[in-house]
């Protein structure tokens, strides 16, 4: 787990609260919801995001902090600047270690970033079911800079992917 993925997973106040009560012993989504006062749906989403980030293990009824992953993250060393030398300024700003740390608000910058993601994730002319598209986009979202559903929607809106009857193709 990269430090930026850890920070991204804990960037949301709700997820921090969920993580905190799991650290303090809440071992089920019901107990987490009870102790945080958050709606069950929010708790389930937060637990899933924390699990995807590698901070929490177990299923409902056996939630626990993934201490081994936290230790590994603490030992991980990264260079001060992990961007590609001479790379595009937009990519240097919004990608760290190949992971999305945010989405540009400016449409032209967002288009540059999305084109990069589409080029790296999908082959032209290949048909992808929605599940495959989601699996290709999830690693880009590991730092919490966005979620794969939003990313998929932007790729379609920018005409970088087409969708027809649940099948996607890169344009």
Contact call for residues 3 and 10 (beta carbons, < 8 A): no
Share of the chain above pLDDT 90, in %: 47
Same domain, 71 and 109: no
Helices marked H in the chain — which ranges?
Answer: 3-9, 13-23, 29-36, 40-52, 67-75, 89-94, 107-121, 130-137, 148-157
- Residue 5 in this model has a pLDDT that exceeds 90: no
Same domain, 65 and 138: no
Other CB atoms within 10 A of residue 26 CB: 20
Same domain, 105 and 166: yes
Structural domain boundaries enclosing 108: 89-170
Q: How far is CA 103 from CA 91, 110, 145, 161, 169, in A?
A: 10, 6, 7, 18, 22
Q: How confident is the model at residue 85 (pLDDT cuts 50, 70, 90)?
A: very low
Q: Please give the average per-residue pLDDT across 66-75, as a whole number.
A: 78
- Residue 2 in this model has a pLDDT that exceeds 70: no
Same domain, 45 and 100: no
Please give the Cα distance from 148 to 129 (Å, whole number): 14
- Residue 146 in this model has a pLDDT that exceeds 90: no
Q: What are phi and psi of 168, to 5 degrees?
A: -110, 150
pLDDT in tens, 56-66: 888 656 898 88
Average pLDDT, the chain: 85
Structure-token match 């540059």, residue found: 112
Same domain, 63 and 93: no
Same domain, 127 and 68: no
């Amino acid at each position: 787990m990269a430090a930026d993925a850890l920070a991204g997973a804990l960037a949301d106040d709700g997820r921090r609260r969920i993580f905190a009560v799991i650290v303090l012993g809440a071992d089920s989504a019901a107990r987490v919801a009870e102790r945080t006062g958050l709606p069950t749906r929010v708790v389930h989403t937060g637990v899933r995001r924390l699990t995807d980030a590698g901070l929490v293990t177990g299923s409902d009824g056996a939630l626990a902090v993934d201490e081994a992953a936290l230790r590994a993250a603490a030992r991980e060393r990264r260079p001060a600047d992990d961007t590609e030398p001479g790379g595009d300024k937009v990519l240097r700003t919004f990608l760290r270690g190949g992971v999305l740390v945010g989405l540009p608000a400016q449409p032209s910058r967002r288009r540059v970033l999305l084109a990069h993601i589409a080029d790296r994730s999908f082959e032209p002319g290949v048909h992808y079911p929605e599940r495959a598209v989601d699996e290709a986009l999830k690693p880009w979202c590991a730092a919490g800079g966005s979620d794969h559903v939003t990313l998929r929607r932007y790729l379609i809106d920018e005409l970088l992917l087409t969708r027809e009857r649940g099948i996607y193709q890169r344009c």
